Amino acid sequence: MRRLRQGDTVALIAPSGPPDPLLLARGRHVLGGLGLNVVVAARALSRRRYLAGPDFARAADLQEAWCDPAVQAIVCVRGGYGATRLLDLLDWDAMAAAEPKPLVGSSDVTALHQALSIRLGVPSMFGPMAACQALGGPDGPEPHTFAHFRGSLFEGAAARPIPGTAVLVPGQASGPVIGGNLSLLAALCGTPYALRAEGRIVLLEDVTEAPYRIDRMVTQLLQAGCLQGAAGIALGSWVDCGDPLPILAELLTPLEIPVIAGLPLGHGSPQFSVWLGADGAIDTESCSLAGTLRDRETAS
């Protein structure tokens, strides 16, 4: 999968909730300022209750953008809910036959990251979305978020490892980075898209979830075997979640693998980007997560 270049075409899609039109317009302008040709999918501004239009329409926008050789990357406009409803509607054979390309998004888009990894074995980028405050806010993009986003898309890696703030379990770990939003990963348990952590570094983050709910979801992942064999755990932001670190430490320490916390990945600001499915490394001496997208067709 190649990195982006100026002049490439980026498609904006809404696989989950409907975007705010003003935020979307600002985000599109920011991406255009990177020298990209930005197109908005035909149905991206549709609305059906809490969804950005009917399931078939959202799935069609994703598949058309993925299979279109004129599109070099796909950026989701926002999260919310609805991505899981698309997974059985996509023609995975057709998508496998197409040239792989970056898909960018976070929160509810975790479901698409999991599906792309399991179905196609391709990396994707967990990062800010087009119609979010981090890129499309009234004062322009948040500077650290934007710099990290640009470097991840055009260079395949950050200028330096992503720093955390706390070490829960010391050590070093390497392996592909997977995971994302905890609520989505728990919801995918028992499906073909469930988390498979063997030999991998698992990213976990969430928003507006009380510590007891975080306890319940991590316990679900543990009891389902989703974290079995994990190489390490990287904990991102927990915005409006109280203080979940004591319960996370209690649940994850028995795994006897490196665990770092406080990475700016998820719903907070700044919101850094990380390539899921690409090589990563945890270093608890520097309390950081490094990740690199190599110039190759696929990563798993």
Query: Average model confidence (pLDDT) for the chain?
Result: 94
pLDDT reading at 112 higher than 80: yes
Inter-axis angle of helices 211-223 and 245-252, nearest 10: 20
pLDDT reading at 159 higher than 80: no
Say which CATH topology domain 162-292 has: Glucose Oxidase; domain 1 (3.50.30)
188-240 pLDDT, tens per residue?
A: 999 999 999 999 999 999 999 999 999 999 999 999 999 999 999 999 999 99
| Residue 297: active-site member | no
Superfamily of domain 9-155: Murein tetrapeptidase LD-carboxypeptidase, N-terminal domain (3.40.50.10740)
| Residue 205: active-site member | yes
Would you list the DSSP string of 163-211?
E-SEEEE--EEEEEEEEEEHHHHHHTTTSTT----TTSEEEEEEES--H
- Whether 164 and 289 have beta carbons less than 8 Å apart is answered as yes
Look at residues 168, 175, 202, 180 and name the one whose alpha carbon lies nearest to residue 284.
Answer: 168
- Whether 22 and 29 have beta carbons less than 8 Å apart is answered as no
246-300 pLDDT, tens per residue?
A: 999 999 999 999 999 999 999 999 999 999 999 999 999 999 999 877 654 333 3
Catalytic residue among 113, 209, 237, 267: 267
- Whether 81 and 57 have beta carbons less than 8 Å apart is answered as no
| Residue 113: active-site member | no
pLDDT tier, 45 (very low <50, low <70, confident <90, very high otherwise): confident
Output DSSP code: residue 4: P
pLDDT at residue 240, as a whole number: 97
pLDDT at residue 300, as a whole number: 35
pLDDT at residue 157, as a whole number: 58
CA distance 45 to 90: 20
Instruction: Give the angle subtended at the CA of 80 by the CAs of 237 and 175, to the nearest 5°.
Output: 45
Burial class (CB in 10 A: 0-12, 13-18, 19+), 58: buried
pLDDT at residue 3, as a whole number: 84
Would you list the DSSP string of 206-228?
EES--HHHHHHHHHHHHHTTTTT
Domain map of the chain by residue range?
Answer: 9-155, 162-292
Catalytic residue among 107, 124, 152, 183: 107
Catalytic residue among 16, 117, 124, 205: 205
More confident position, 27 or 294: 27
pLDDT at residue 297, as a whole number: 36
What per-residue string of b and e applies to 249-283 under the rule 16 or more CB within 10 Å gives b?
eebbeebebbbbbbbbbbbbebbbbbbbbbbbbbb
Q: What is the pTM of this model?
A: 0.95
93-106 pLDDT, tens per residue?
A: 999 999 999 999 99
